[in-house]
Each structure stands twice: as C-alpha cells, then as structure tokens.
Amino acid sequence: MPGKISLWLESQTQIRKCICDKIVFCHGNHGTVGVQFVVGEKWQRLLLAPWPLVPNHIRHLAQGVNSLPRSIKSRRQFNVGSLREFRGSSVSLNEARSSFQLYPRSFDIFSRSRKFVEGFRGSALRSLHGSNMRFNQPKAVPLSKLKDNFIDGTSGNFLEEHQRQWEADPQSVDVSWQIFFKNFTGSSGGKGRASSEVTSAGHATQDGLRIAMLVRAYQVSGHMKCKLDPLNLDTKAAPAELDPGSYGFSESDMDREFNVGVETMAGLLGGNQPQTLKNIISRLENVYCGTIGYEYMHIQDRDKCNWLRDKIENQNVSYTPAQCAEIFDRLMWGTHFESFIAQKWTAAKRFGLEGCETLIPGMKEMIDTAADCGVESIVIGMPHRGRLNVLGNVVRKPLRHIFSEFSGGIKPVGEDGSYTGSGDVKYHLGTSYDRPTRSGKNIHLSLVANPSHLEAVAPVVIGKTRAKQYYGQDKQRLKNMAVILHGDGSFSGQGVVYETLHLSDLPNYTTGGSIHIVVNNQVAFTTDPKFSRSSPYCTDVAKALCAPIFHVNGDDVEAVTRVCDLAAKWRCHFLSDVVVDIVCYRRFGHNEIDEPLFTQPTMYHVIKSHPNSLAIYEKKLIENGLLANGEIEKMKAKVIGILNSEFESSKNYVPKKRDWLAAFWAGFKGPEQLSKLRNTGVKQAILKEVGKNITLLPATFNPHKAIKRIYEQRAQMVEKGEGVDWATGEALAFGTLLVEGNHVRLSGQDVERGTFSHRHAKVHDQKNGQVYCPLDHVLKSQPPDYFTVSNSSLSEFGVLGFELGYSMENPNSLVCWEAQFGDFSNTAQVIFDQFVSSGESKWLRQTGLTVLLPHGYDGQGPEHSSARLERYLQMCDDNPFKFPVLEADSTKQSQEINWQVVNVTTPANYFHVLRRQVHRDFRKPMIIMSPKNLLRHQKCRSSLSEFDETGGNGFQRLIRDVGGHKEEEDGIRRVIFCTGKIYYELDEERERAAAKDVAICRVEQICPFPFDLVLRELKRYPKAEIVWCQEEPMNMGPFLFVFPRLGAAMKSACRGKLEDIKYAGRPASASPATGFGDLHTKEQKGLVERAIQKSLLALIELNG
C-alpha cells in the first residue's frame, strides 16, 4: 500500500498486521522509550519499555534517523524525538525502508513486556503530543520484580532466523541489523561460521541485553550503593537493580565472557572486548560503588554523558607518590589550622572545618586544574563553615591577619582618613589574593564578603563573576569562574539557591557555569536531614540544570581531590554548572561552644572515636610505603612552625582597610574624603546627537506601528527641545553616560519593554522578529553588551543580588535593577538589608547600584501601589533629630549617608540623578521610587534645556514652588512639602481652587534629607503653616522619616515646633492601599482637597 508501513505486531494471543503512516519514537533520560504507531492522525498503539530493554538495532535506528538528511524524499515518515527535546520533525527514511518489515516484528518485544513499563512520564508524553492524546497510564513495576524473558518465543525465533541470514551473508540484511549482530557477536558475519555459534547467537543477543541493563543500572544507581558516609550511619540497602540476579544471572555465569560493546558509547559499554561477568561486575563496583557516587545519567546531552562516562570509567585511579605527598601536605595545613586556633583561642567561635578538612586539598586541586585549563580569576562565595580555613589556606589571606582578628579584632586603619565602618565578624569578611598554582601560574582569588544570611551571597558572586568577564573581555568565559560553597541544610533549604542556579544559562547572566561544593556534614545546626529536606540528596535541586553531581566520602582525601579535579575539568570543558557533594561530619557542635550531644547523641558517640581524615590518610600512606614516619614528622614540624611564627607576627599586625579593593576603584573616595560635585548637565550638541541616535530605527526595520509613533514622538521631543518625557529622559541619561565611557546595564523583569509599556528599549521587527536596540548604536562600532538591557528571570532575590555583585566590580558603570512593581522587591529584602544598605559600613565596599521601584497610588490595590518606601527610609543612617552642619555643597551629606532614596518628579531630574550616580568620586546605592502614571502625564515633561550644563542646575534635591516666589513671601498661607507624583494632583487642585496662597515644595531626594533647602523654603514663607502631604498611610511612606527632620529644620529656622506640622494623608493602616477603586478615588480626592483648601489640625491636635 503506497505511503504505508506494514507492521507485524504480536500480542499474547495473536499476531496481527497493522498498517500505519508513521512511527514515533519518544525516548527520555529516565530509561524509558515509547513507540507509537500512527494511522492518519490517530495514535494506534503505545508501547513502552525501559531504555535498557530496547534492542540495540532499534537504538541504532533512532540514531540513524536523526542523522538522515532531510532532503531525502520518501513516502514513509519516521519521527524521532526525546521527551525533553522532542525534535518533532518528520524525517524521511529511504534507506531504512527495507528494514521496516523487520523492525515491526521486534516491537513485539515491547508489547509482550507491558509489565516493564515503569515510571514512564505519561504527563510528559501528553504534553509532547498535545493534551488530546489518550492512553492508559502505565502502572509502575519495579525493575527488580521483572521476571519476563522478553526475548523468547517468536521474537527470539525471528531474531535467530535473521541472524542466520546475516551470518550467511551480512549484506542480505539491513545495515542496522548488520551493526546490531556485529555488536552482539563480535564477529563480522559471513560464511564459514561454525553451526554451534549460529545456534548460540540468539542467546548471545539475550545476554548482551541483560548485561547492558546491568551496566546501565550501575551508571544510573551505583551512587546509591556507595560508601559515602564516613560515619557509616547510613544503613540504606543497595538498590535491587544492582543485583545481577535481577537480570537472570547466577553464580555459574560469573566466569562466562560477555561482549558489552556499543560503538557509540563511552566507558564500560564502549569497545568490543569480551569480559567475564565477574570482571564486569568488579569494574562496575569499583567505578560506581566506591567512595565516589556519580550522578550524571539525568544529563540529557549524549556528548556530555559520554565525556563523563569516559572520564569516570576509564580514569587511571592511582596517584603517584609525589601527588600523594602534596595531597597529604595540603590536608595537614587544613587540619592543623583548625587545631592551632582551637588551642590558642579555646572559647572563640570559628565554625571550624573539622570533619571536612579534605575540602582544603580538594579546593586547591580544583584551583590548580582550573588554572591549567585557562582560568585566571576565581570569585568565591561561601558561608561560615570552614571559611577562615579557606581564607587562610586557599585564598592565602595572611595568617597573621586572621590571627590578629581572633585576638580582639583591631579596627583597620584608613590610609588618609578615619572611616573604617562598623566592621563585621571575622567569618564574614572577604579578601582577595593571587595564589601561585602547581604549574607555576598565578590565579586571582577573591572571596566575597557575606552576611549571616545563608546563600544570599550566591547570586552576588555570580554577578561579580559576570562583570569580571565583561570588563576582562572574557567572551569565552574561560578566564573568570565562580566557585560557591554551601552547607547541606542551606543548599536544599534556601530558595535563593534555585534562583541563582537558574541564572546559569541565561544569555545576559551566564558566567559559563559555576562549581558548587557542598560541605555536607549531614546536619544543619541541630536539625537532621530527615527533617530539613524532602529530596534524597541535598543536591537534588541542581538536577534541574542537568548538572553532574559528584557525591564523595569526605574521609577519602584522594577521592575528594579526584572529584574536585573532575569538576574543574567539566566546568572548563562544558561551561556549565557542576556540584561536588562532600559527605562528611561536623566534629563539634554548630560552633565550638555548642553541645552537639543534646540533639545528635548517636552521631556524636560515633564521631567521638572516629579518626580524622589526616590520621586516616597518614595510616594509608605509611601502610602503602608511600610516606615514611620521619617525613611526616618533618612536614608537621614545618606547618606548626609557620603557624607559630604567624601567631607571633599577628600581635603587632595592623590591617590596611583597602587591602582588597579591585584596581578599578583606585582613587575613589571614602565617606570621610570630600569629593567634588560634577555638573551632570550635558552640552546641547551632545544631547541632540545622542537623542538622534536613540530615537532612530533603521529604514528597513518594521516596528509595530504604535512603537514607530512613539519613536517618532521621541525624535521630535529632542529636535524641538520641548516636552521630553520620562522614557526619553532615561534614554538620554543612559546614552550620554555611554558616550562618556561608562558601561550601562539595566536588568529586571520585563525591563526591555518596561512593565508599563513605556521604555521600549528593544524594538521587535513585526515581520521577521528581529530585535533592534537603539541604545546599542550611540557610539560608532559600539562593543557588544556595552549597553545591556535585559529581561531577567522571575526572581528578585537572585537577580538583585546578581546586579549588586555586578556593580561592585567596576565603578565606571551605571548598573540598575528595576522591580516589576516596587513592592515585589520585598522578596529581595535580604539583599537590601544585608548588602545594599549596610555593605559599605560592614565591609568597606562601595556600590552605585541603582534600584528602580515603581511606586504611587493610582487605585491598583494594596500590592501595586506602594514600593514600601518607609522601609528604605528606615534604614538610612543619619540623625533624624539633628540639623547637620552642611558644607558649601551637599556632597558630603551624600557621601556620609549609607544610601540615597529619591522620588523624582521630572524627566530632567531623573536624568540628572541617574548621571550623578557616576559623576562623582564615590559610589552610593540609590533607591528610586519610580513613577507609573507620570510616565505619560502631560505635565510631567521637561525641556531639553533642563538637561544641559547651563540651564539644568544638575540634580535638584528639592524643587521649590513653581510660582517664582521671592526670597520672602508673606502672603503665603500654607506651604506644603510633599514628594513624588502627589505633587501633580496637589498642583491641579490648587489651580482648580485658585489657592494662590499655597506653595508646594517637592522633596525630590528624601534621603539624605535636604535640610538646607527645606530651611531655605521655611524662611521664604515665614507666615505659612507647614503641611506634609502624602498619599501613603501615616505609618507608611515618607512621613515618619520626614517628620523629625522637618522638625529639626523648623527648629533651626525658628519656625515653630515639631508638633506644629500638619498632616494631609491617609490614616494609619495595615494594608498599604484599598482594593476598591471608588474608595481609592474618594480617599485620594479627600487628601488632596484637605491639603489645599481645608483647615488642618496640627498633628498634636489631630491625635488628641
């Protein structure tokens, strides 16, 4: 029948012919394969089986089809895909036509083995083929329970018959059968074979399949039989699928030889050498069930799997005596470091590494290997556990420095000033040094300072690494790499781990993969793993990335070293994430003062008599004659000697405060060193030129017509020099900064278009989908990524952390993160609290990170109205009650504050405040309450002259009343201070009510509070009552921040007392805003009217 495929399908009772149009293969990485016969558009039949049961010739078929040229025309269709990566295309199969008559017969292997259907992801298959597809959900049957001899009966006869043909004349059967029989017999076929061989060939086929299943079971599940727990408390039984009996093998088979070779496979399944079953099992046990548990069969990429299989299964496992001595020496340093500190400072908290000392040789090996692969710089992030040890032994922070911190923590001394911040506990501090590597190179290591909040540093490390790659033009991402250490409890428990992992392959966030090392001491503070995670391993979260995971027994230093080496090779080869899970223990309590027996008695009774890894390795080396006792003593004496001399030197050690600032920051000023204010205005000619470039779309480009209009309007704004809107003001700020040599990066959810559809930084061609970014064309031949605007993953914690890390690398940049709506930033609160607001004070690290938080009450309900301005203000570190002594300019105030919070109301002021971030000799984080309805507000426009260096006056911290009042205005009855978009509503109401005796001042920079300018305005209106107006409830927004500061200014101006301030705003409330639109309008109207017209009670009266 033309265009049809004839299939002979065998069921339990009958053989019937089935004619179908196509066959679809679906195979996934969970060891299952689905075969579907399709007639017309109907799915006729679904056969499922674990992958190991799929005969090789069918695998070959699947491979063959994928590689067939699509140009071959045939009426017969064949689809091949995988569950995750379904290619879905119909591929012609001319060559394989003849074999179709053969394959169908072998499909009965599946049909007769329906019981084998196990764990097949029905839902995945459904989603693959559309939700209309119906089939019975297969029932799970453990592999170990399978007793079917699935290749007997007619299938076996069929195969044997076929094999006979091949042996007589290989060419008489299809090419895929030729490969199949060649693999399973190890011969090339052809005449002259003994008849006994012919008879046994069917059995060979059967054996081959069973062996393949066994090998594969080890590859998939061998790690579950490993000796990973140094304490041997892990009593779980070995998985049944690793029992040869499950596949019908018995003791009598042990000396039989089998051919396991598959040409396209690496490792144990590769090659064609026959081996005894005993030998095969022993190799499998050695490779997969020792002290390293490899989890990699979840990786879908065949090349990656093969690469690993090759490394894992064929690796030469023994180290040379010299290598052993080096490993031993490194372990000795790691061990004695802890015991030395324990002995000198018995009561100090250090979160020691005891129980996982092998981390030190492991990390050193990883660094050496990475350096050999071309890595020049590593950014390291890690929590408390073992941090001091890593700082001293791996990063090479001077031991005397570490010891001096133990002896009381001397405050560092500034080179030319006194600001040294609040400092932090020693196990949070960062540092950076060059470490010489084994092969004589130098590798730069920087350990990022971190707060107590576990895992919060992870995205920061990634951001910093990405920035290093950008500034170092490391396009291949080979020279700069991130290494992140984790605790077992934190890795599985903290959501930011997942948020960070998912940045891994995003084009504008990737760093080419990171190495993760888990110090898995099998406890989190006092909590057992059983109560802290639901997954078998603490590392399972990394499977989402298809990262290989190497579990290793932390007592076996050589194994730790080996997997660290492999992890470095993997990362440098595939530029993707990899995880090393060091299964170890914690010798003492959570810290050295804690009593672990209170909560983990069984574990700690075992730990008490458990030798440390140094003693275990020492014994092994002596027993194997690799190191003599005398040599060991000599090495030990050397280590102790150095530790002692460093201790002596620590007594007079005075650390320098800037000993770990990156070179880019040279010349930047600390808060105590007065920095000059630069004009943030830009020459008209440059504004026009930049304005032209950023509003121009290529002639051949086909934008959406609304976008085209927007861009035309923007071009006119610049050309006419009037009516510049918010988005154009922002683009001008970015463009002019680029022209001046600064890198600009804006990231966040949907920032390319802008949540409120106002930015349109990237324009999409409506015909071909191409993307054009005008800000990429401000300079002639602008380098890639010089301007970056990027939609991010739907994460706030992870992405804000990333941008923070990015901003810390080089000050000559404007790095911005924008929240979708302002209050979504609260899921990133840790980054605001622990890093952005306090990082400079704790760690003397500056950042100019700029955060855009859409804020404003426009009836969108409780969650979309407020960016929780009050929280950012609460963290400002100036004195609310004291009118400061202000220098000639206000820069000092901005330098001394921990961060800036602004709520600007004009495009020009927005332009200047963005540019001010870069145009000064220090960096300070800035939180911008960015507008929503002002984005299109007709009055929220600026003229181009406000952007230039003559007319603009730069950033205005306070915008005085627009009435052009004299220095003293007696006729003003009321002066309203406010901030943000409420100004426009107040202005409108003032106009409507013709309230000419009301002045309105906009506080554009709320923190640091513009005391001087508020004072000036207070003096201007000596008879006016003073009102604070805000749209937020009284317990939110800026009121509680402004109140004491306004009071301090009034006191200074002799303009009354704090209690005289009048308030026009919403009453205190639990929810930021009402969810009822009408109520919102009524409230908003009411507060604006009160502010302008009605008589207001002073606060003191208001609150009785």
Contacting residues toward Mg ion, per CB under 5 A:
487-489, 521, 524
Burial label, 191 (beta-carbon count in 10 A; 0-12, 13-18, 19+): exposed
Stretch near ligand TPP under the rule CB under 6 A, chosen from 27-35, 82-90, 448-456, 470-478: 448-456
453 binding ligand TPP? (CB under 6 A): yes
Helices then strands, each counted (H, E), the chain: 35, 31
Q: Whose Cβ is closer to ligand TPP: residue 402's or residue 454's? A: 454
Residue 1063, C-beta contacts closer than 8 angstroms, at least 6 positions apart: 1027, 1028, 1029, 1034, 1039, 1096, 1099, 1102
Which string of x and - marks every residue 509-548 that binds ligand TPP (by CB under 6 A)?
----------x-x-xxx-----------------------
- Choice from 205, 480, 490, 693 touching ligand TPP (CB under 6 A): 490
Helix, strand, coil percent values for the chain (each to nearest 5): 45, 15, 40
Amino acid identity, residue 107?
F
Q: How far is the CB of 387 from ligand TPP (least distance, A)?
A: 10
Q: How far is the CB of 494 from ligand TPP (least distance, A)?
A: 6
Q: Rounded to whole angstroms, how far apart are CA atoms 997 and 1073? A: 31
Do the Cβ atoms of 46 and 34 come closer than 8 Å?
A: yes
Do the Cβ atoms of 454 and 496 come closer than 8 Å?
A: no
Q: Whose Cβ is closer to ligand TPP: residue 382's or residue 690's? A: 382
Q: Which residues are paired to 20 by β-bridges?
A: 5
Q: How far is the CB of 917 from ligand TPP (least distance, A)?
A: 30
Q: How far is the CB of 594 from ligand TPP (least distance, A)?
A: 10
747 binding ligand TPP? (CB under 6 A): no
Partner from Mg ion, ligand TPP, none binding residue 490, C-beta < 5-8 Å depending on class: ligand TPP
489 binding ligand TPP? (CB under 6 A): yes
Stretch near ligand TPP under the rule CB under 6 A, chosen from 414-422, 451-459, 797-805, 910-918: 451-459
Amino acid identity, residue 1056?
G
Please tell me the count of residues contacting ligand TPP according to CB under 6 A. 15
Q: Whose Cβ is closer to Mg ion: residue 118's or residue 488's? A: 488
201 binding ligand TPP? (CB under 6 A): no
Q: List, edge to edge, every strand of the sheet that includes 998-1003.
A: 958-959, 998-1003, 974-978, 1025-1033, 1062-1066
Q: Whose Cβ is closer to Mg ion: residue 527's or residue 757's? A: 527
Binding residues among 582-611 for ligand TPP as defined by CB under 6 A: 586, 590
Cα-Cα-Cα-Cα dihedral sign, residues 1040, 969, 999, 958: negative
Q: Whose Cβ is closer to ligand TPP: residue 833's or residue 949's? A: 833
Q: How far is the CB of 518 from Mg ion (least distance, A)?
A: 9
Q: Whose Cβ is closer to Mg ion: residue 495's or residue 1075's? A: 495
- Choice from 487, 548, 721, 1072 touching ligand TPP (CB under 6 A): 487
Q: How far is the CB of 334 from Mg ion (least distance, A)?
A: 18
Residue 295, C-beta contacts closer than 8 angstroms, at least 6 positions apart: 223, 537, 539, 543, 548, 549, 550, 551
Closest CA to 983 of 1091, 909, 1074: 1091
From residue 901, give the alpha-carbon distance in Å to each of 471, 779, 798, 924, 1007: 29, 32, 22, 10, 5
From residue 1048, give the alpha-carbon distance in Å to each of 6, 1038, 1056: 92, 16, 10
Q: How far is the CB of 825 from ligand TPP (least distance, A)?
A: 18
Structural Rg of the chain based on CA atoms: 35
Closest CA to 553 of 515, 581, 533: 581
Tokens 């084998």 map to which residue? 116
Q: How far is the CB of 452 from ligand TPP (least distance, A)?
A: 4
Q: How far is the CB of 797 from ligand TPP (least distance, A)?
A: 11
Closest CA to 223 of 509, 671, 667, 550: 550
**Total length of the chain:** 1104
Stretch near ligand TPP under the rule CB under 6 A, chosen from 239-247, 488-496, 657-665, 877-885: 488-496
Q: Whose Cβ is closer to ligand TPP: residue 219's or residue 522's? A: 522
Closest CA to 438 of 541, 343, 513, 368: 368
- Choice from 6, 172, 452, 713 touching ligand TPP (CB under 6 A): 452
Q: Whose Cβ is closer to Mg ion: residue 612's or residue 900's? A: 612
b/e string for 298-337 if b means 16 or more Cβ within 10 A?
bbeeeebbbbbbebbbeeeeeeeeeebbbbbbbbbbbbbb
Which string of x and - marks every residue 383-412 that binds ligand TPP (by CB under 6 A)?
--x---------------------------
**Beta strand segments in 693-833, E:** 743-748, 763-764, 771-772, 787-791, 813-818
H/E stretch holding 78:
strand 77-82
Q: How far is the CB of 595 from Mg ion (least distance, A)?
A: 17
Q: Whose Cβ is closer to ligand TPP: residue 457's or residue 1026's? A: 457
484 binding ligand TPP? (CB under 6 A): no
488 binding ligand TPP? (CB under 6 A): yes
Q: Whose Cβ is closer to ligand TPP: residue 81's or residue 487's? A: 487
Partner from ligand TPP, Mg ion, none binding residue 952, C-beta < 5-8 Å depending on class: none
Q: How far is the CB of 487 from ligand TPP (least distance, A)?
A: 2
Interaction site with ligand TPP (CB under 6 A): 385, 452-454, 487-490, 519, 521, 523-525, 586, 590
